[in-house]
């Protein structure tokens, strides 16, 4: 690789580190080109999977201000740069690694700090952003429904009380309001 090509590669990788919301470092030893393409499809539009030379990736990580990843750049290395939802990409990588033992997740980087393999798997176990928002909205709606029922309860109880009193009166007795309006019989 010519020196200008290496500089361009380092610049590209460091730009990806800066712009990505997360990055997951993997070892792809033993995966065929067809399997790599299948992994790229599984990651979807929100992530890109790039094979990188270790020395260039280390240099790019340092240039981008990403600390703690130097030990992960050994062996055949590929990096999944996540632009969208980190949970979706982590799930796709974890599921692909379960089916293809040749893919090894080494670690990652998110929110300014390095992630261990266990932390990447914990992220993969989370629900997606949309599901979490739906759960939160449901919880808020339930609390609002409880509040509305609590505020309506006194009026409902009063209405039931009036109905019960009306049913309890003897049949021939006029309601109090009608008795006051009726002329007195002598």
> Which residues have CB under 8 Å from 9's CB, separation 6+?
1, 52, 53, 56, 60
38-65 pLDDT, tens digit per residue, is 999 988 888 999 998 999 999 999 998 8
Together in a domain, 13 and 28: yes
Which of the four pLDDT bands, split at 50, 70 and 90, describes residue 186? very low
Together in a domain, 75 and 162: no
Tell me the sheet residues that pair with 79: 25, 50
Neighbours of 32 (CB within 10 A): 11
- Of 126, 159, 179, the domain-final residue: 126
Together in a domain, 136 and 119: no
Helix, strand or coil, per DSSP, at residue 70: helix
Q: What is the DSSP letter of 139?
A: H
Together in a domain, 111 and 20: yes
Q: Which domain does 155 fall in, by range?
A: 132-170
Helix, strand or coil, per DSSP, at residue 83: coil
- Of 74, 92, 126, the domain-final residue: 126
142-183 pLDDT, tens digit per residue, is 777 787 778 877 878 888 888 888 888 776 565 555 555 556
Together in a domain, 104 and 142: no
Q: Is residue 62 in some structural domain?
A: yes
Indicate the pTM of the whole model: 0.67
Distance CA 22, CA 113 (A): 10
């Amino acid at each position: 690789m010519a020196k200008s090509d290496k500089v361009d590669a380092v610049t590209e990788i460091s730009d990806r580190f800066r712009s990505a919301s997360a990055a997951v470092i993997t070892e792809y030893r033993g995966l065929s080109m067809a399997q790599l393409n299948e992994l790229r499809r599984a990651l979807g539009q929100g992530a890109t999977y790039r094979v990188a030379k270790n020395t260039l990736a280390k240099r790019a990580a340092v240039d981008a201000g990403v600390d703690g990843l130097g030990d992960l750049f050994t062996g055949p290395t590929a990096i999944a740069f996540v632009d969208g939802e980190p949970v979706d990409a982590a799930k796709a990588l974890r599921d692909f690694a379960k089916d293809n033992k040749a893919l090894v997740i080494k670690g990652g980087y998110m929110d300014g700090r390095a992630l261990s393999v266990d932390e990447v798997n914990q992220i993969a176990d989370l629900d997606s952003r949309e599901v979490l928002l739906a759960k939160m909205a449901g919880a808020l709606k339930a609390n609002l429904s409880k509040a509305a029922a609590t505020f309506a309860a006194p009026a409902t109880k009063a209405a039931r009380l009036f109905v019960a009193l009306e049913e309890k009166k003897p049949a021939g007795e006029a309601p109090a309001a009608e008795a006051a309006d009726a002329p007195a019989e002598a």
